[in-house]
Structure 1
Amino acid sequence: MYFTHADEIWAAHPNLRALVLTADGLTSATTDEARLTDLAERIDRRQSEQAEAQMPEIAAWREAFTRMGLKPTQYRCASEALLRRYRKDKSLPSFHPLVDHLNHVSMAYAIPIAVFDVAHVDTGITVRPATGAESYETFQGDIENPAPGEVVFGDAAGHAHSRRWTFRQSARSAVSKSSESALIVAEAHHASAAGDLTAMEAELKTGLAALGVTLGSSALLSESHRLFEF
């Protein structure tokens, strides 16, 4: 399988950097409450210092959304949406030990993280403009067709595993209790993205191992190193 970004994405977003990892043994994952508490404290400190729009990671994603012709206050990247929700309630619903942990890491770094059950991905994922023929499955069970040009996580069978890049993920490949293997993707555009994603990689390797998840390969992607095969 593979993960990559299309040429059109790099042309429009040359500062993009991505961290990709694989994980197995998800059915054995358990919650690490101590790590979630530590991450929550880091999130609280960040939010006490800055509003989401002032965080350089979020500001860079807002600029990316603007370049795509989207209103960044209407369509927010996943990390901003999580942070804004967390600021109100100081908690998030629990879904799965892996997903819960990744949500907290995403908020601590203000960088969107997507996780896909690879059993429901055909051959691989390319972040690319949609053709208009892709199918996207909502969490309500509806099927949508992204408009031509909309950035999606598309697989070889024409499934869109996200809408508007990092705005909303598809139910088709969402991690569940029966999921065994996953692809994890974190993407950023800000000036220190490469260094921050390197730090996130170290954090995820330690944190996910503590959950009982088996980590596989990982890579940092840039315009000169675009393809991750696993």
Structure 2
Amino acid sequence: MVEDAVFEKLPEYVVGVVVARGIDVHRHTHMPQDVLRSGEAVFRDRHCHCDYKAHPDLVPYREAFETIGINPNRFPSSIEAMGKRVLNGAALPFIHPVIDLVNGISLNFAVPMGAHDLDQLGGDFEVRFSREGETFVALGSDQEEVLPAGELIYGDSSRVRTRRWIWRQSEWGKVTQDSRNVLFPVDGFSGQNLDQVLAARDQLAAALAGEFGALVSVHLIDKDHRYIQV
């Protein structure tokens, strides 16, 4: 679900969603790693000869950050941060078959993508503004941060799942070797990169079904369809 107040500030906001159930990480081949290396190569080819921050792929997210009061230079979106590492020559590490797949598709289509273990959610999963006193633990950390009210986040009724919208994901709800049921959001904008969002969503869904044996469904959230039933 996306809170009404989000669309008041970002009326073209869309979220492509893949819901995958019964993921079997032991079934996969080397495909996820191949997708990651291919995505890195595509991103370098598209962005290496320009000021990548000014590239049409990234400008919509930088402008949206500014609209909601987040400095995109200090807190770049996940795709901008990952893309910068790739353009600097880094080969991203293999983390987990599903995460490698997501990162490769994210780079290939230059869209932010997330992965959230459905079995670790507490209540409705939402894109919304934070409430006073909510807390967050960054991926790889054990330090709890207290948020101010009014920060755009992914969250449920009890936990903040990402800070600053698509900047950094939480330790809570991360995908592990035990994760079987996962929700994957793909963030974008209807008037600017909807085709990329849908293509990334559909490639991910096909790979999860074909490589990991998951039962998948695909969805699109926008200002006229603000929630899905999972």
Query: Structure 2 length normalisation: TM-score?
Result: 0.91
Matched, 1:28 2:28: no
Aligned pairs for 1:54-133 within 5 A: 54-133=54-133
- Runs of 4+ with deviation above 6 angstroms: none
Give the paired residue count: 226
| DSSP 3-state at the match of 2:57 | helix
Q: Render the CA deviation track for 1:125-149: whole Å, top value 9, x for unaligned.
A: 1111111232212221111121110
| DSSP 3-state at the match of 2:12 | coil
Please report how far the alpha carbon of residue 210 of structure 1 lies from its aligned counterpart in structure 2 after TM superposition. Answer: 3.8
In the other structure, the counterpart of 1:10 is: 7
Matched, 1:180 2:163: no
Please report how far the alpha carbon of residue 123 of structure 1 lies from its aligned counterpart in structure 2 after TM superposition. Answer: 2.0
Change in CA separation of 1:18 and 1:50 when aligned onto 2, cut-off 3 Å: farther
Q: Render the CA deviation track for 1:69-91: whole Å, top value 9, x for unaligned.
A: 22111111101010001112331
Tell me which amino acid in the other structure corresponds to 1:151: L
Please report how far the alpha carbon of residue 107 of structure 1 lies from its aligned counterpart in structure 2 after TM superposition. Answer: 1.3
| DSSP 3-state at the match of 2:16 | strand
Q: Render the CA deviation track for 1:162-215: whole Å, top value 9, x for unaligned.
A: 101001100011101111110000111373322222222222223333432414
Structure 2 gaps, min length 5: none
Which stretch of structure 1 is more off in the superposition, 7-16 or 100-109? Answer: 100-109
Native 8 Å contact 1:20 1:228 kept in 2 = no
Structure 1 gaps, min length 5: none
Matched, 1:152 2:150: no
In the other structure, the counterpart of 2:144 is: 143
Please report how far the alpha carbon of residue 49 of structure 1 lies from its aligned counterpart in structure 2 after TM superposition. Answer: 4.4
| DSSP 3-state at the match of 2:8 | helix
Q: What percentage of aligned pairs have identical amino acids?
A: 23
Native 8 Å contact 1:98 1:211 kept in 2 = no
Matched, 1:189 2:174: no
| DSSP 3-state at the match of 1:28 | coil
| DSSP 3-state at the match of 1:57 | coil
- Matches of 2:122 and 2:224, distance apart in 1: 25
- Matches of 1:49 and 1:131, distance apart in 2: 42
In the other structure, the counterpart of 2:209 is: 209
In the other structure, the counterpart of 2:219 is: 219
Tell me which amino acid in the other structure corresponds to 2:143: D
Native 8 Å contact 2:106 2:200 kept in 1 = no
Tell me which amino acid in the other structure corresponds to 2:56: P
Native 8 Å contact 2:202 2:218 kept in 1 = no
Please report how far the alpha carbon of residue 18 of structure 1 lies from its aligned counterpart in structure 2 after TM superposition. Answer: 1.0
Which stretch of structure 1 is more off in the superposition, 31-40 or 191-200? Answer: 31-40
| DSSP 3-state at the match of 1:219 | strand
Which stretch of structure 1 is more off in the superposition, 106-115 or 23-32? Answer: 23-32
